[in-house]
Protein backbone atom coordinates (compact mmCIF):
# COMPACT_ATOMS: atom_id res chain seq x y z
CA UNK A 1 0.00 0.00 0.00
CA UNK A 2 1.25 3.46 -0.90
CA UNK A 3 0.74 6.37 1.49
CA UNK A 4 0.67 9.78 -0.19
CA UNK A 5 1.56 12.95 1.72
CA UNK A 6 0.71 16.40 0.38
CA UNK A 7 3.05 18.67 2.32
CA UNK A 8 1.94 22.28 1.92
CA UNK A 9 3.27 25.62 3.04
CA UNK A 10 0.58 28.07 4.12
CA UNK A 11 -0.43 30.89 1.80
CA UNK A 12 1.01 34.39 1.74
CA UNK A 13 0.57 36.34 4.98
CA UNK A 14 -0.29 39.96 5.65
CA UNK A 15 2.87 42.08 5.51
CA UNK A 16 4.77 39.42 3.53
CA UNK A 17 6.42 42.07 1.38
CA UNK A 18 8.45 43.24 4.41
CA UNK A 19 10.26 39.86 4.67
CA UNK A 20 10.46 39.62 8.45
CA UNK A 21 11.09 36.63 10.69
CA UNK A 22 7.56 35.79 11.77
CA UNK A 23 8.26 32.43 13.37
CA UNK A 24 5.64 31.87 16.06
CA UNK A 25 4.03 35.32 15.62
CA UNK A 26 0.39 34.60 14.79
CA UNK A 27 -0.18 36.56 11.59
CA UNK A 28 -3.18 36.01 9.27
CA UNK A 29 -3.25 35.16 5.60
CA UNK A 30 -3.43 38.00 3.12
CA UNK A 31 -6.18 38.12 0.51
CA UNK A 32 -3.66 36.76 -1.97
CA UNK A 33 -2.79 33.96 0.44
CA UNK A 34 -6.45 32.96 0.64
CA UNK A 35 -6.63 32.93 -3.15
CA UNK A 36 -3.51 30.75 -3.33
CA UNK A 37 -5.03 28.18 -1.01
CA UNK A 38 -8.36 28.18 -2.81
CA UNK A 39 -6.61 27.45 -6.11
CA UNK A 40 -4.38 24.81 -4.53
CA UNK A 41 -7.35 23.07 -2.90
CA UNK A 42 -8.75 22.25 -6.35
CA UNK A 43 -5.50 20.45 -7.21
CA UNK A 44 -5.53 18.00 -4.30
CA UNK A 45 -7.31 14.84 -5.53
CA UNK A 46 -9.82 12.69 -3.70
CA UNK A 47 -9.86 10.73 -1.52
CA UNK A 48 -8.04 12.87 1.06
CA UNK A 49 -8.49 11.23 4.46
CA UNK A 50 -7.14 13.92 6.81
CA UNK A 51 -5.63 17.40 6.90
CA UNK A 52 -3.19 18.30 9.66
CA UNK A 53 -1.84 21.76 10.46
CA UNK A 54 0.04 23.79 13.05
CA UNK A 55 -1.78 25.89 15.63
CA UNK A 56 -0.92 29.24 14.01
CA UNK A 57 -3.79 30.95 12.23
CA UNK A 58 -2.05 31.21 8.87
CA UNK A 59 -1.74 27.42 8.80
CA UNK A 60 -5.21 26.80 10.23
CA UNK A 61 -6.95 29.01 7.66
CA UNK A 62 -4.90 27.45 4.86
CA UNK A 63 -5.78 23.97 6.11
CA UNK A 64 -9.48 24.86 6.28
CA UNK A 65 -9.40 25.86 2.62
CA UNK A 66 -7.56 22.67 1.64
CA UNK A 67 -9.92 20.50 3.70
CA UNK A 68 -13.21 22.09 2.59
CA UNK A 69 -13.63 20.27 -0.76
CA UNK A 70 -13.10 16.98 1.07
CA UNK A 71 -15.65 17.74 3.82
CA UNK A 72 -12.92 17.53 6.44
CA UNK A 73 -11.98 19.63 9.45
CA UNK A 74 -8.27 20.28 10.03
CA UNK A 75 -6.56 18.45 12.88
CA UNK A 76 -4.42 20.95 14.77
CA UNK A 77 -0.99 19.72 15.87
CA UNK A 78 0.97 22.37 17.86
CA UNK A 79 4.30 20.62 17.24
CA UNK A 80 3.97 21.47 13.52
CA UNK A 81 4.31 25.21 14.20
CA UNK A 82 7.16 27.29 12.80
CA UNK A 83 10.41 27.76 14.68
CA UNK A 84 10.39 30.27 17.51
CA UNK A 85 12.98 32.92 16.69
CA UNK A 86 12.86 34.47 20.16
CA UNK A 87 13.99 38.09 20.31
CA UNK A 88 14.45 38.12 16.52
CA UNK A 89 10.76 37.62 15.79
CA UNK A 90 9.20 40.43 13.79
CA UNK A 91 12.62 41.74 12.71
CA UNK A 92 14.07 41.89 9.21
CA UNK A 93 17.36 40.27 8.23
CA UNK A 94 19.10 43.66 8.12
CA UNK A 95 17.69 44.71 11.51
CA UNK A 96 19.02 41.56 13.15
CA UNK A 97 22.50 42.10 11.72
CA UNK A 98 22.50 45.69 12.97
CA UNK A 99 21.03 45.18 16.44
CA UNK A 100 22.46 41.75 17.31
CA UNK A 101 25.74 41.45 15.33
CA UNK A 102 27.41 38.93 17.69
CA UNK A 103 24.34 36.72 17.92
CA UNK A 104 23.88 36.89 14.18
CA UNK A 105 27.49 35.83 13.64
CA UNK A 106 27.01 32.88 16.00
CA UNK A 107 23.84 31.84 14.14
CA UNK A 108 25.55 32.14 10.74
CA UNK A 109 28.42 29.99 12.04
CA UNK A 110 26.18 27.26 13.44
CA UNK A 111 22.51 27.71 12.48
CA UNK A 112 21.61 24.22 13.66
CA UNK A 113 22.56 24.55 17.32
CA UNK A 114 22.43 28.30 17.91
CA UNK A 115 19.10 29.83 18.79
CA UNK A 116 18.28 33.50 19.44
CA UNK A 117 17.50 34.40 23.04
CA UNK A 118 14.07 33.00 23.86
CA UNK A 119 14.00 30.90 20.68
CA UNK A 120 14.69 27.31 19.74
CA UNK A 121 17.40 25.58 17.74
CA UNK A 122 16.89 23.78 14.46
CA UNK A 123 17.75 20.51 16.20
CA UNK A 124 15.03 21.03 18.82
CA UNK A 125 12.52 21.96 16.15
CA UNK A 126 13.49 18.94 14.06
CA UNK A 127 12.80 16.52 16.90
CA UNK A 128 9.25 17.73 17.50
CA UNK A 129 8.40 17.98 13.79
CA UNK A 130 9.69 14.53 12.85
CA UNK A 131 7.95 12.86 15.79
CA UNK A 132 4.65 14.29 14.54
CA UNK A 133 5.39 13.27 10.94
CA UNK A 134 6.10 9.69 11.98
CA UNK A 135 2.84 9.46 13.92
CA UNK A 136 0.76 10.93 11.08
CA UNK A 137 2.19 8.57 8.46
CA UNK A 138 1.79 5.59 10.79
CA UNK A 139 -1.88 6.46 11.39
CA UNK A 140 -2.67 6.81 7.67
CA UNK A 141 -1.01 3.83 6.04
CA UNK A 142 -2.25 3.40 2.49
CA UNK A 143 -4.17 6.69 2.52
CA UNK A 144 -3.79 10.22 1.14
CA UNK A 145 -3.15 12.85 3.82
CA UNK A 146 -2.14 16.52 3.89
CA UNK A 147 0.03 18.52 6.26
CA UNK A 148 -0.27 22.31 6.07
CA UNK A 149 2.69 23.85 7.85
CA UNK A 150 5.51 26.37 7.44
CA UNK A 151 8.67 26.86 5.43
CA UNK A 152 10.99 25.71 8.20
CA UNK A 153 8.83 22.71 9.08
CA UNK A 154 8.62 21.59 5.46
CA UNK A 155 12.35 21.96 4.89
CA UNK A 156 13.10 19.76 7.91
CA UNK A 157 10.71 17.07 6.67
CA UNK A 158 12.14 17.12 3.14
CA UNK A 159 15.73 17.00 4.40
CA UNK A 160 14.86 14.02 6.58
CA UNK A 161 13.08 12.10 3.82
CA UNK A 162 15.87 12.69 1.31
CA UNK A 163 18.65 11.98 3.80
CA UNK A 164 20.05 15.50 3.39
CA UNK A 165 22.04 16.87 6.35
CA UNK A 166 20.22 19.70 8.12
CA UNK A 167 23.20 21.94 7.36
CA UNK A 168 21.70 22.19 3.87
CA UNK A 169 18.20 23.12 4.98
CA UNK A 170 18.20 26.51 3.26
CA UNK A 171 19.04 24.95 -0.11
CA UNK A 172 15.40 23.89 -0.26
CA UNK A 173 13.00 26.63 -1.28
CA UNK A 174 9.44 26.79 0.04
CA UNK A 175 7.36 29.57 -1.47
CA UNK A 176 4.02 30.64 -0.06
CA UNK A 177 1.45 28.04 -1.08
CA UNK A 178 4.14 25.54 -2.09
CA UNK A 179 3.07 21.93 -2.65
CA UNK A 180 5.37 18.98 -2.01
CA UNK A 181 4.25 15.44 -2.78
CA UNK A 182 5.80 12.40 -1.12
CA UNK A 183 4.87 8.75 -1.58
CA UNK A 184 5.69 6.23 1.16
CA UNK A 185 6.21 2.69 -0.10
CA UNK A 186 6.20 1.08 3.29
CA UNK A 187 8.97 2.93 5.11
CA UNK A 188 10.65 3.99 1.87
CA UNK A 189 9.80 7.60 0.90
CA UNK A 190 9.85 8.81 -2.70
CA UNK A 191 9.70 12.58 -3.19
CA UNK A 192 7.63 13.30 -6.30
CA UNK A 193 7.46 17.10 -6.15
CA UNK A 194 9.23 19.90 -4.24
CA UNK A 195 8.04 23.52 -4.04
CA UNK A 196 5.37 23.04 -6.68
CA UNK A 197 3.25 26.10 -7.46
CA UNK A 198 -0.17 25.39 -8.92
CA UNK A 199 -1.48 28.97 -8.93
CA UNK A 200 -0.43 31.92 -11.10
Pairing of strands 188-196, 2-9: unpaired
Mean pLDDT of 147-154: 97
pLDDT of residue 200: 62
Helices then strands, each counted (H, E), the chain = 6, 6
Sheet holding 144-149, edge to edge: 75-76, 48-53, 144-149, 2-9, 179-185, 188-196
Mean pLDDT of 110-126: 86
- Is the separation of the CB atoms in 177 and 11 below 8 Å? yes
pLDDT of residue 108: 76
- What are the backbone dihedrals phi and psi of residue 153, each rounded to the nearest 5 degrees, phi first? -60, -50
pLDDT of residue 37: 97
Confidence of residue 149 (pLDDT cuts 50, 70, 90): very high
Supply angle C-alpha 146, 150, 153, rounded to 5.
85
Model confidence pLDDT, tens digit, residues 81-94:
999 989 999 898 88
C-alpha to C-alpha distance for 28 and 13, rounded to whole angstroms: 6
**Does pLDDT of 16 surpass 80?**
no
2-84+120-196 under CATH 3.40.50.1240, yes or no: yes
- Is the separation of the CB atoms in 12 and 177 below 8 Å? yes
Amino acid sequence: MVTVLYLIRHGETEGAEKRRYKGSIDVPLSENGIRQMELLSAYIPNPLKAVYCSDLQRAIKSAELIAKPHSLNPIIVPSLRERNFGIWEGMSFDEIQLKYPDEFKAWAGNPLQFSPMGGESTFAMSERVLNSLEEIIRNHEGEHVAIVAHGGVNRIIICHLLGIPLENIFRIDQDYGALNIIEFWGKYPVVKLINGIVYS
